[in-house]
Chain A
């Protein structure tokens, strides 16, 4: 990534503040409150996991952070500026199948710079560099459909990071992958995140995944989603796969399972 003239974008910024946010979903008479009075903050450079049962509104919060959904009340700010509409500053990675099928991998990644009118040679060079960083050197000229699910998610991450976002928003990005690939992708994500420190909000319903990745976990209740716990994880980095069998990990896992089980019934 060195030598990229756009590097000036990346400062230790990315302070996310969600204050007393409610979000309504659905058409007028069928509208319901998906998120109620939710508040939390993410420190610059922090990797935060939003953990909760399906339907708790965690993806809705992410959609609002991305600027795709409007909030009914409250405020969301990034470095003090209110969030208004989608922006490359807030890179969003979906669960699966959102690469542009008609663009080769290299051109998918270079899409953001193309929108900023970066010269062709320069943006393709930047795309190739990022593809190398996510471990996909040699696959630049493939179409997305020719790649495995894990490789496609690496391209997704590269396509978002090329814009030097101040915050990286990930909506259950690995949940469609098989268990082994998922574990490898978690490692890949931590590796990338260490090399390009970016504030990250990672939505998941997988307790192990949240505990393995995060600096901090916010546990959300059933709909309408509220914060039921805010846990700072004590595990050192770099983290390795055997972390999941350590006593501290297991103890925290039991604690979170208890939280979610109580609210489930």
Chain B
């Protein structure tokens, strides 16, 4: 088989690419490279970042920061998932619900969630709740819109078949509309998870007390420059982990979605 060695070569190239990036970074940071518009004078080299990461891993601060960030995402994103899917199904299935709910949602949709930060600090007396609200708003719209899209695009012939086989409204919702819309809903959940993290980190930088966004911003104000990059890496890892969790959930919930053909 010619594919095996070719695969090995491709992996080697990929690894070398990452190695080259790290090498360039190390060189630029230790040489305090100054290109005029861009300067590496205050950028920590990867070796320092690694040391700082080890220190953070060993300190109890990590769990405190991660714990509060995760709790906020769970609360805000969880509420957005429940409400978004419910609203999306109502809007997609009922003309009355669509006329009643869609206009205000369409008006609010173009406002980026981050733009809600000042107002939400004013509205909510606790900064904790205002940060949860920002993650909620960030996730809500992609989840609603994808659910509406998924529900509206369920094959009408499947619904006709189910009615012919004796299915009533509720059964059709459970057995046909929900599974039919599931791939679109999971897509909405994945997009929502991304914006949710993005909004959370921004909110934490502005009004946080703990949390990984706050940690990153605090590192900047305290001039612990290596910790800034550690914070960035942790944020990236959390986003990656949550999107992996969602894809796995999708695979478990929708085993029919990519079955292999036998003939």
Which A residues have a C-beta under 8 Å from some C-beta of B? Answer: 66-68, 85-88, 90-92, 94, 97-98, 100-103, 111-112, 115-116, 142-143, 145-148, 159-160, 163
Beyond A97-B157, A100-B176, whether A115 also contacts B259 by CB under 8 A is no
Nearest chain B residue, comparing its CB with the CB of A151 = B263
Chain A residues whose C-beta falls within 8 Å of the C-beta of B260 in the assembled complex? 146
Smallest Cβ distance from B63 to chain A, in angstroms? 40
How many residues on the B side are at the interface (Cβ–Cβ under 8 A)? 26
Task: Contact check, B157 vs A143: say whether CB atoms are below 8 A apart.
Answer: no
Smallest Cβ distance from B42 to chain A, in angstroms? 54
Task: Contact check, A87 vs B262: say whether CB atoms are below 8 A apart.
Answer: no
Q: List 10 A-B contacts (CB under 8 A).
A: A88-B164, A91-B164, A92-B160, A97-B157, A98-B158, A100-B179, A103-B175, A111-B175, A142-B262, A143-B256
Rounded to whole angstroms, the CA-CA distance of A112 and B171 in the bound complex is 11
Rounded to whole angstroms, the CA-CA distance of A163 and B175 in the bound complex is 18
Chain A residues whose C-beta falls within 8 Å of the C-beta of B254 in the assembled complex? 102
Task: Contact check, A115 vs B164: say whether CB atoms are below 8 A apart.
Answer: no
Task: Contact check, B179 vs A116: say whether CB atoms are below 8 A apart.
Answer: no
Beyond A94-B161, A148-B263, whether A88 also contacts B256 by CB under 8 A is no
Which B residues have a C-beta under 8 Å from some C-beta of A? Answer: 155, 157-158, 160-168, 171, 175-176, 179-180, 182, 254-256, 259-263
Nearest chain A residue, comparing its CB with the CB of B263 = A148
Task: Contact check, B165 vs A98: say whether CB atoms are below 8 A apart.
Answer: no
Rounded to whole angstroms, the CA-CA distance of A102 and B254 in the bound complex is 7
Task: Contact check, A86 vs B160: say whether CB atoms are below 8 A apart.
Answer: yes
Query: 8 closest pairs, A vs B, by CB?
Result: A115-B166, A102-B179, A88-B166, A86-B163, A86-B164, A112-B165, A102-B256, A98-B161
Inter-chain pairs besides A68-B164, A100-B175, A116-B166, 16 sampled, C-beta below 8 Å: A66-B160, A85-B163, A86-B160, A90-B164, A92-B164, A98-B155, A100-B176, A111-B162, A112-B165, A115-B165, A115-B166, A143-B259, A145-B261, A146-B261, A146-B262, A160-B164
Chain B residues whose C-beta falls within 8 Å of the C-beta of A143 in the assembled complex? 255-256, 259
Rounded to whole angstroms, the CA-CA distance of A102 and B258 in the bound complex is 10
Rounded to whole angstroms, the CA-CA distance of A159 and B254 in the bound complex is 22
Task: Contact check, B164 vs A145: say whether CB atoms are below 8 A apart.
Answer: no
Task: Contact check, A98 vs B166: say whether CB atoms are below 8 A apart.
Answer: no
Task: Contact check, A68 vs B160: say whether CB atoms are below 8 A apart.
Answer: yes
Smallest Cβ distance from A118 to chain B, in angstroms? 11
Nearest chain B residue, comparing its CB with the CB of A90 = B164
Rounded to whole angstroms, the CA-CA distance of A90 and B165 in the bound complex is 9
Task: Contact check, A98 vs B256: say whether CB atoms are below 8 A apart.
Answer: no
Q: Which of B160, B182, B263 has the most CB of A within 10 A?
A: B160
Task: Contact check, A146 vs B163: say whether CB atoms are below 8 A apart.
Answer: no
Task: Contact check, A87 vs B164: say whether CB atoms are below 8 A apart.
Answer: yes
Smallest Cβ distance from B150 to chain A, in angstroms? 13
Beyond A100-B158, A100-B175, whether A146 also contacts B259 by CB under 8 A is yes
Nearest chain A residue, comparing its CB with the CB of B157 = A98
Task: Contact check, A66 vs B164: say whether CB atoms are below 8 A apart.
Answer: yes
Task: Contact check, A115 vs B176: say whether CB atoms are below 8 A apart.
Answer: no
Chain A residues whose C-beta falls within 8 Å of the C-beta of B263 in the assembled complex? 147-148
Task: Contact check, B165 vs A160: say whether CB atoms are below 8 A apart.
Answer: yes
Rounded to whole angstroms, the CA-CA distance of A145 and B261 in the bound complex is 7
Rounded to whole angstroms, the CA-CA distance of A146 and B256 in the bound complex is 9
Smallest Cβ distance from B177 to chain A, in angstroms? 11
Smallest Cβ distance from B97 to chain A, in angstroms? 23
Chain B residues whose C-beta falls within 8 Å of the C-beta of A90 in the assembled complex? 164
Rounded to whole angstroms, the CA-CA distance of A160 and B162 in the bound complex is 10
Task: Contact check, B166 vs A87: say whether CB atoms are below 8 A apart.
Answer: yes
Rounded to whole angstroms, the CA-CA distance of A115 and B167 in the bound complex is 6
Task: Contact check, B161 vs A88: say whether CB atoms are below 8 A apart.
Answer: no
Rounded to whole angstroms, the CA-CA distance of A147 and B263 in the bound complex is 7
Beyond A86-B160, A102-B254, whether A163 also contacts B259 by CB under 8 A is no
